[in-house]
Chain A
Amino acid sequence: NAGVTQTPKFQVLKTGQSMTLQCAQDMNHNSMYWYRQDPGMGLRLIYYSASEGTTDKGEVPNGYNVSRLNKREFSLRLESAAPSQTSVYFCASSEAFTPYGYTFGSGTRLTVV
Chain B
Amino acid sequence: EDKVVQSPLSLVVHEGDTVTLNCSYEVTNFRSLLWYKQEKKAPTFLFMLTSSGIEKKSGRLSSILDKKELFSILNITATQTGDSAVYLCAVWSGGGADGLTFGKGTHLIIQP
Interface size class on chain A is: 20 to 34
A74 interfacial by beta-carbon distance below 8 Å: no
User: Residue-by-residue, is B87-99 near A (CB-CB < 8 Å gives 1, otherwise 0)?
Assistant: 0101010011111
Using Cβ atoms and an 8 Å threshold, which residues of chain A touch B4? 42
Q: What's the Cα separation between A99 and B97 when bound, in Å? A: 9
Are the CB atoms of B97 and A48 closer together than 8 Å?
A: yes
Binding site for A on B (CB under 8 A): 4, 9, 32, 34, 41-45, 48, 88, 90, 92, 95-105
Using Cβ atoms and an 8 Å threshold, which residues of chain A touch B34? 99, 102
Q: What's the Cα separation between A49 and B99 when bound, in Å? A: 9
Q: Which residue of B lies closest to A46 (CB)?
A: B99
Q: What's the Cα separation between A33 and B95 when bound, in Å? A: 13
Are the CB atoms of A90 and B42 closer together than 8 Å?
A: yes
Are the CB atoms of B104 and A42 closer together than 8 Å?
A: yes
Q: What's the Cα separation between A97 and B32 when bound, in Å? A: 11
- Given B9, B41, B97, which contacts A106 in the complex, CB threshold below 8 Å? B41
In the assembled complex, the CB of B53 is this many whole angstroms from the nearest CB of chain A, namely: 20
